[in-house]
Every structure is written in C-alpha cells, then in structure tokens.
Structure 1
Amino acid sequence: MADVSLSAKVRTEFGKGASRRLRREEKIPAVIYGHGADPVHVELPSYDMMMALKTPNVLINLDVEGKKELVIPKAVQREAIRGFLVHIDLLTVKKGEQVNVEIPIHLEGDLGPGQHVLEHGLNALPVLAEATHIPESVTISIEGLVAGDSIQAKDVKLPKGATLDTDEEVIVVQVLAGQLEEPSAEGEGEDGEESAE
C-alpha cells in the first residue's frame, strides 16, 4: 500500500474562528488518537492531506514537531457543497497491529442477458488488516449474473493478510429484475400540447 510523509504542528487555538483562520492559511485541523494516549490536536497542510486521501486508508508517516507517528485516516469531514477538507481524525498504528478498515469494492465484468438492475449493498468491505499492509481495494466479478443472483461478503476473495470484519451473510451486490417502461400513449405529452397551440 502507498504511504506518504507529512509534517504537523501542535494546535493551541480551538473553536470555529481558529479553524477558519487555519483554512485561510491552507491548513486543516486534525486530532491524533489511539493506544490509550491523550488526543493530540494538530494542524496539517491542506493540499498535501487532500492528495494523500486520494489513496484509501493511506498510511501516513507524520512528523509532529520532531515526534514521529504512524497514522491512518479514520474520519474525514468535508464541506458539503465544495468538498474541501474541514477536519480529520487520525489513528496511530504500529507495525504488526491489526486495524479495522473499510476497503473500496471494484466490480468487473458484465451482467448476463436480460433487463437487470445491479444493487449495491456495500460500497466498501469492512476488514481486519495489518496496519502497514492495508489493501487498497477488493475486486468482485459480476460476470454473467442474472436477476436473483447475489454476492455475499463470504463469497469475496480477500487480499492476503485481510480477514472479514462483518457478517458473512451480508449482501455486497445483488441483481434485480429490471422493469420495462410502458410506452406513452400517442398524442400525449409536450409534443401533443405544442401542436394544439
């Protein structure tokens, strides 16, 4: 998995005003927690953090004013409309430690013949994985599936070192029968209205 290096500064000011000032300076507020230690409030470079988050469950080598921490993102808050980063929670991890993460699901293949609708039960799969070897994604084949078929969590081939961290019976994707649209009656609709003018 990919990992990045970032530097952080300890925050001493809190509240909405302080957070707004940080964002104007192209920084974002964050909290580091884990292993029973007191949470540490820091500020991070916004652009670098945004680029790092393009990799799901990215492993970050964080330098907090000279103290080295290995962290992964656990909760990311974004502004609702424009999507810029507002706040992030970071979890400290150690090599060899198992962590709970959700890995993105990628689908490949084509459904079988017929009118079908593919319904996603999950977009990401909860797994336990070693902190420094978190899989970036899991691929599921939907080749040839038809209405009534489904894939459960237990059917997914997990990457090496990852174990399922959810109910085995939970449906990841299922195929539903598509409904054919009924043709509209002749002479109705906008065209009919316009010709009557």
Structure 2
Amino acid sequence: MTDLFTLEAEVRTDLGKGASRRLRHANKVPAILYGEGQEPISLTLEHKNVYRAQQEEAFYSHVLTVNIDGKPVECLLKDMQRHPFKQLVMHLDFLRIDASHPVHVNAPIHFLNEEEAEKKGGNITHQINEIAISCLPADIPEFIEVDVADLEVGQTLHLSDVTLPKGVTSDELAKGEDHDQAVVSLNAPKGVSEETDEAEEIEATE
C-alpha cells in the first residue's frame, strides 16, 4: 500500500485552461502544491497512478510523498476535482506539511457492530461519516472506529462519546459544547412511534 501514497510529479510551466486540457488528453493530471510559506508549484502527474491511489480510503487523510523531479515532498491532499460523469480526476491540490506542525484533516469513520445494534429493533442512521480532527502528521489515523454495539433504540452517540486516538483532537469540540455533533443514532422503525402515540391516546380516552 505504501507505493500508493508515493506519487511521481513534474513541474509544469505551461499553465492555463488550454494547457490543462492538453495534459488531460495526454492522460496526465494537473495539480498544485502550496503551503508552509513557500511559493505554490504547478505540477503534472500520471492519471493512472492518481486514479489507482484515490481508490484507497486512506489516500484522503494519509501523509503523501510527492516526488517532484526526484525530490520528495511530504504533503496532504486538500482537494480533488473529478469529471462529473467520466472516471477522470481533473485536478489535485496538495498542501505541504511540516512534521512539527499540527494539521487539520477529515478522518473517515468505521462503524462497528451495526447488525448487533439493529437486533434490538432499531435502524442505524449515520449523522456524519467523517470527523474533522487536528494532530501532528505522524498521528493522523487512517480511520476512526465507532462501536455502536451498546446503542439502545432512541439513543444517539455524539462526538464527545467517541474515543479519539492519542494525540488527536476534534476540531468541532474545540469550538465548544454547542458543536458536539451527533455521529450515529439507533432510531425506532418508522411508524412505531406513531402507533405508540395512538395507543397512548386510546388508553387516555378509555
């Protein structure tokens, strides 16, 4: 998997929409590298290598190595533009990183034991599928696990209920308690609550 996170790139000087169009026709992807107080660099990458790498979930939060004319640069993928209906990557934005500086990334969530939770008679609903986090580059998790086995029907897990890896903090929770987002819920099946309300009304009338 390591090779998927190392991409070969060349500096490009031919800029503009026309140049980008010509690159795509040649099965290449235009990109830009910026950050850490350095000048942005326009790059060209092989589309087949980018397309293969972007199929991996970790590609979007993993520290990547971009070899620019043979010189390795560590960075994160900050944006990717895809063709609206073709299987083509149109453009990439890379952010330089420094091992000693915290970075902000979105880590995907892996939900565990969903079937076990739904045996209680409810339906699992994902409120979010990734968590905005801050940490040093070396501490970036490939994903964050959220175990829903103990969820009861009608219960919701929030960000404050999620155990984050060591050295990792939630960007939302850092803003205050009002930003304690819902993560996942075990909801009663549709119609059950309505039937319960009707039954209670009948009992009350009787």
Q: What is the TM-score when the length of structure 2 is the normalising length?
A: 0.79
- Shift of the 177–83 alpha-carbon distance from structure 1 to 2, 3 Å rule, reads farther
| Aligned counterpart in structure 2 of residue 170 of structure 1, from 181, 185, 200 | 181
Q: Note if 1:120 corresponds to 2:131.
A: no
Whose helix fraction is larger, Structure 1's or Structure 2's?
Answer: 2
1:94: which partner in 2? 98
For the pair 1:81 / 2:85, whether they are aligned, the reply is: yes
**Number of aligned residues:** 181
Name the structure where strand makes up a greater proportion of residues: 1
CA distance in 2, matches of 1:2, 1:176: 40
Q: In structure 2, do the counterparts of structure 1 residues 82 and 147 end up closer, same or farther at CA, with 3 Å as the change threshold?
A: farther
Residue by residue over 1:142-181, the C-alpha shift from the partner in whole angstroms, topping out at 9 and shown as x without a partner, is 1142332111111111122211111351111122221149
Deviation (angstroms), 1:113: 4.0
Quote the residue 1:12 is aligned against: 13
Correspondence for 1:131 among 111, 129, 137: 137
Question: Which residue does 1:32 correspond to in 2?
Answer: 33
Aligned-residue offset at 1:107: 0.6
Give the aligned partner of residue 44 of structure 2: 43
Could you tell me how far 1:2 is from its partner in structure 2?
4.9
| Letter matched to residue 74 of structure 1 | K
Equivalents in 1 of 2:188, 2:100: separation in Å? 45
Q: Distance in 1 between matches of 2:96 and 2:2?
A: 17
1:66-104 Cα deviation digits (max 9, x unpaired)? 443111101111112234211110000122221000110
Q: Which residue does the alignment assign to 1:72?
A: 76
CA distance in 2, matches of 1:74, 1:61: 14
2-structure distance, mates of 1:47, 1:129: 31
Structure 2 unmatched runs, 5+: 174-178, 193-206
Does the CA-based 8 Å contact 1:52-1:58 persist in structure 2? Answer: no
How well do the aligned residues superpose, as a CA RMSD in angstroms? Answer: 2.2
Task: Give the equivalent residue in structure 1 for 2:190.
Answer: 179
Q: Can you give the 5+ residue segments of structure 1 that lack an aligned partner in the other structure?
A: 182-197
Q: 2:161 aligns with which of 145, 155, 159?
A: 155
The amino acid of 2:186's aligned partner reads V
CA distances 1:101-160 after superposition (whole Å, capped 9, x unpaired): 011001111225454232222110111121133110011111142332111111111122
Q: Is the 8 A contact 2:36 2:98 kept in 1?
A: no
TM-score with structure 1 setting the length: 0.82
C-alpha contact 2:159 2:181 (8 A) present in aligned 1: yes
> Structure 2 counterpart of 1:78, which letter?
R
